[in-house]
Chain A
Amino acid sequence: MRLNKAVSVYLATALMAAGSAVPAWAQLKIEVTNGVADPVPVAIVPFAKPNTGDGGLDVASVIEHDLQGSGRFRTLPRTNMPATPTQPNAVVMGDWKNAGEDYIVVGRVVPLDGGNVAVDFDLLNVLTGQRVAGQRFTGTPTALRNAAHRVSDVVYEKILGIRGAFATRIAYVSVDGQPPAQKFQLIVADADGENQRLVLESRYPLMSPSWSPDGQWLAYVSFENKRSAVYVQFVRTGERRQVSARAGINGAPVWSPDGKKLALTLGGSSGNPDIYTLELQTQNLTRLTDDPAIDTEPAWSPDGKSIYFTSDRAGGPQIYRIGVNPGDRPKRITFTGNYNARPRLSADGNLLAVVTQDSGNYRVAVQDLNSGTFRVLSKGHLDESPSFAPNGSTIMYSEREANRGILATVSVDGLIGLRLKSDQGEVREPAWGPFAP
């Protein structure tokens, strides 16, 4: 078992082809901590590409970036490659064994009739010589990045046995300017921060974005009417609908696993926040908590039968769970420390992510719901808003750095951390979208 000393690797993001937006994520810093991390050595050989004047997207570079950034792989620098095959039968296994690689990926970008392109790849096991996987992804030239991420997903899954989450999207809030003249934006981007799309812009606060399970809608809170209200918005067209603007707090919307309901926080005119579920089709409202404490920040269990939430009924915020049928009594879930808030569940229902207070710092932690083990994952002073990747292996969250908010990820075993730095201003509240259907 090799131990890796702490290594900082700076990768400049690949510039996109002419005609596309230059990424606003200027720098990706990968930190691999001391520990059991045994990254799998894999060579991603530059793909063959059509002779277009503008050079096209470097597909292999996107795949390298995905796999290296996951912390589970160590990709071979191009200067160390013994050759640059693009077909599986051109690979001389002995050369790659000598280079220390366990796997090699070769591929080709192929233009198709009608203007589409295909990305073909082959994943080969260097030690056995076997072709482990190979596939073709087709699409428009502008979807080439997505095809590259799909390749990364296959490579990740074939080698690690866990579904990859590279071809997914995130939503987050970006804030520019200084109070009282701040500008708020809700943005959707690829999970690596590229391909940013503006969903909503406002002079008033936006918060709490939440994806529908089919990845087509976002729910969020907007203060555009000088008070909080919950909206749902169809991302592709921008069509939006106000779903709750009741007196008092309207907050923390989260979609049910079947996509038919929102759980949310309502405060009423007495200002006492409690948890409700709202059926979107009928507008039927069901009250779940009735307590003078602050009850907020609901999160659904993956089977849709329970809701976890933050409550300070015991003095300080802790996580509780309640059944979705009214009348059930909440059960306390977290007992470590004095502050646990903002619950989120992994897709398999085994892990609960929270914001916890840890020696005076606010950090992201996970609690194993089966064993009760509690583990602090992040290392910042003001970390918040954890969101699981749909494969449950990584958590994205926001952290404050020198008065600016940035997004970061940490693996659920705590071994791998990554920061996404942005030129954009302050970014916060990431919501990791589901797998593409």
Chain B
Amino acid sequence: MRKILMVLMLATALVSAGGCASKKPKPGASQSTEVGNNAGADAAGANADAANAGNVGADDDVAGPQGGLLAKRVIYFDFDSSDIKGEGNDVVAAHAKYLASHTSTRVRLEGNTDDRGSREYNIGLGERRAQSVRRALMLQGATEGQISTVSYGAERPAVVGNDEGAWSKNRRVEIVYLGPGGQAAPVQPQPQR
């Protein structure tokens, strides 16, 4: 962690010591768009508000239950594996039991990988882990409608680093409890099977 802080401080020092008018790329007023915080602009000057385009049914995260194992929200995985192991089984069991007895409570499972290898393939691996936890929850009493999944692959590390210490903390599924507000609806029809 100290090494990461040092690298960060050095990088920050480099940026601020540059003394130049702009180190950042220029946002052409007619060219750039900012999303993710409900801001957007296009050449016509209208507020595109692109972030809201797909926000129908988006869920809000809530704190959820906190007692005992329920306070643990992260399940970790071995390299190249989507098998739930060790304490992960206990964590899953606790949340499954809670979901089984609170049938209107919903969770989102967020699958992640370490950052080695190809990014979109890692999206697939993260999804595989999320699905593994989903199946385990359903086997132990949760219902399909209570669980949604998303994979962030390697894009949302918990810890930045290039060693097993960091990687092992990033190979994970996070259980996120969701507030009320209806089922998250996909914006478009599902692919035909």
Interface size on B (CB < 8 Å)? 72
Asked if B35 and A403 make an inter-chain contact with CB atoms under 8 angstroms apart, the answer reads no
- B136 within 8 Å of A by Cβ? no
The residue from A24, A179, A202 contacting B160, defined by CB atoms under 8 A apart: A179
Asked if B63 is at the interface of the complex by the 8 Å CB criterion, the answer is no
Residue A197 interfacial (CB < 8 Å): yes
A140 near B: Cβ within 8 Å?
Answer: no
Q: Which residue, of B25, B26, B156, B160, has the highest number of chain A Cβ atoms within 10 A?
A: B25
Binds A, one of B16-24, B67-75, B90-98: B16-24
For the complex, give the distance between the alpha carbons of A296 and B32 in Å: 29
**Contacting residues of chain B (108-146) with chain A, CB-CB under 8 angstroms:** 108, 115-121, 123-125, 127-128, 130-131, 134
- Residues of chain A lying within 8 A (CB to CB) of residue B26: 21, 196-198
Interface residue B86 (Cβ < 8 Å from any Cβ of A)? no
Interface window among A2-10, A33-41, A377-385: A377-385
Question: Which A-chain residue is minimally distant from B18 (CB atoms)?
Answer: A423
* Interface status of A82 (Cβ within 8 A of chain B): no
Quick check: A229 and B54 within 8 Å, CB to CB? Answer: yes
CB-based contact B31/A404 at 8 Å: no
- Find chain A residues with CB under 8 A from B30 CB: 236-238
Task: Assess whether A248 is interfacial by the CB under 8 Å rule.
Answer: yes
Identify B33's interface contact among A178, A233, A244, A266, CB under 8 A: A233
Q: B1-40, CB under 8 A of A: which get 1 and which 0?
A: 0011001100100110010111111111011111111000
Question: CB-CB < 8 A to A252: which residues of B?
Answer: 120, 123
Question: A362, B32: Cβ atoms under 8 Å?
Answer: no
* Cα A235 to Cα B30 with chains together (Å): 9
Asked if B62 lies at the interface with its beta carbon under 8 angstroms from chain A, I say no
Interface status of A207 (Cβ within 8 A of chain B): yes
Q: Is the CB of A402 within 8 A of B7?
A: yes
Closest beta carbon of chain A to B181's beta carbon, Å: 13
Instruction: Report the minimal beta-carbon distance from A55 to chain B, rounded to whole angstroms.
Output: 17
Majority secondary structure of chain B interface residues (helix, strand, loop or mixed): loop
User: Quick one: given A247-B186, A423-B14, are A207 and B36 in contact (CB under 8 Å)?
Assistant: no
Quick check: B192 and A287 within 8 Å, CB to CB?
A: yes
Question: What string of 1s and 0s marks CB contacts (under 8 Å) between A263-293 and chain B?
Answer: 0011111110110100000000101001000
Kindly state the separation between the CA atoms of A370 and B24 in the bound complex, as whole angstroms.
Answer: 44
| Contact A403 to B31, CB < 8 A, known contacts A178-B160, A223-B152, A251-B120 | no
> B191 touching A205 by the CB < 8 A rule?
no
B80 to nearest A CB, angstroms?
8
Q: Decide yes or no: A310 and B24 within 8 Å by CB, A223-B155, A246-B190 being known contacts.
A: no
B51: chain A residues within 8 A (beta carbon): 224-225
B66 neighbours in A (Cβ, 8 Å): none
- Judge whether A242 and B149 touch: CB under 8 Å: no
Q: Is A329 an interface residue (CB 8 A)?
A: no
Q: Which of A179, A287, A339, A424 contacts B191 (CB 8 A)?
A: A287
State which residues 187-215 of A face B: CB under 8 Å.
Answer: 187, 189, 196-205, 207-208
Q: Report A-chain residues with C-beta under 8 Å of the C-beta of B3.
A: 403
Binary interface encoding of chain B residues 170-193 relative to chain A, with 1 for a CB under 8 A from any of its CBs, else 0: 000000000000000011111111
Instruction: Provide the bound-state CA to CA distance between A246 and B184, in Å.
Output: 11
A385 touches B27 (CB 8 A): no
CB-based contact A237/B123 at 8 Å: no
Give the distance in Å from the alpha carbon of A370 to the alpha carbon of B113 in the complex: 35
Q: What is the bound-complex CA distance between A182 and B128, given in angstroms?
A: 25
List of B residues within 8 angstroms of A182 by Cβ: 156
A230 to chain B, nearest CB (A): 11
1/0 contact string of A364-396 vs chain B (CB within 8 Å): 000000000000000001101100000000000
Residues of A within 8 A of B34 (CB): 200-202
Among B8, B36, B116, the most chain A Cβ lie within 10 Å of the Cβ of B36
Indicate if B100 sits at the interface (CB-CB under 8 A).
no
Interface string of B27-64 (1 = CB under 8 A from A): 11011111111000111000010110111001100000
CB of A131 closer than 8 Å to a CB of B: no
Question: Are the C-beta atoms of B155 and A384 separated by less than 8 Å?
Answer: no
Are A201 and B118 interface neighbours, CB within 8 A?
no
Q: Which residue of B lies closest to A361 (CB)?
A: B116
Does any Cβ of B come within 8 Å of A331's Cβ? no
> Is residue A22 within 8 Å, beta carbon to beta carbon, of the partner chain?
yes
Minimum C-beta distance from B69 to chain A (A): 23
Q: Report Cα–Cα, A423/B50, bound state, in Å.
A: 29
Once the chains bind, are B160 and A201 in contact (CB under 8 Å)?
no
**Which residues of the other chain, A, contact B159 by a CB distance below 8 angstroms?**
179
Asked whether A245 is an interface residue with its Cβ less than 8 Å from the other chain, the reply is yes
- A144 contacts the other chain (CB 8 A): no
Q: Which of A203, A207, A269, A342 contacts B155 (CB 8 A)?
A: A207
Contact call A247/B50, Cβ cutoff below 8 A: no
Q: Which residues of chain B are near A242, meaning CB under 8 Å?
A: 50, 53-54, 187
Given A229-B54, A403-B4, A423-B23, 4 more A-B residue pairs with CB atoms under 8 Å apart are A208-B119, A233-B33, A242-B54, A341-B117
Question: Which 6 pairs across A and B sit closest by C-beta, in order of nearness?
Answer: A196-B25, A294-B124, A205-B155, A341-B118, A202-B36, A22-B20
A-B contact pairs, 9 of them (CB 8 A): A198-B28, A205-B156, A242-B50, A249-B123, A296-B123, A296-B124, A339-B117, A342-B120, A423-B18
Chain A residues within CB distance 8 Å of chain B: 21-22, 24, 26, 178-180, 182, 185, 187, 189, 196-205, 207-208, 222-229, 233, 235-240, 242, 244-249, 251-252, 265-271, 273-274, 276, 285, 287, 290, 294, 296-297, 310, 312, 317, 339, 341-342, 355, 357, 362, 381-382, 384-385, 400, 402-404, 423-425, 429
